[in-house]
Amino acid sequence: MVQQVAEINQIRDTFCEALAEMLAVTSVLPSESHFVLVSFKNIEPAWHSLTEAAVVARRIPHPQLLEAIRFTIGTAEEMSLVTQVLKRLS
């Protein structure tokens, strides 16, 4: 179990670092869990690209989070796919 938590934390940290370098991303909320909240300059192209790639993520129906998407940390391969899809926006 400890090893699994360490692996998820490493995947999360790598994912957050990649997101922080993207021009389309305005912020990555620091996280100690298996969720990451990411704000975008323009959420619609990001959301469209993710849904077209069959990436499951969640938009939060809150007025202050209208430009944000919440990601659940998956496997390294899954998060790599998300990163590749979002890099195309920059």
Q: Give the pLDDT score at 17.
A: 96
* pLDDT exceeds 80 at position 11: yes
Q: What is the CA radius of gyration of the chain?
A: 12
Kindly report the pTM of this predicted structure.
0.92
Interhelix angle 2-20/76-87, rounded to 10 degrees, is 10
- Specify the CATH number for the domain of residue 58: 3.90.1150.10
42-78 pLDDT per residue, tens: 999 999 999 999 999 999 999 999 999 999 999 999 9
* pLDDT exceeds 90 at position 30: no
Domain tally, the chain: 1
> Which domain does 49 fall in, by range?
2-87
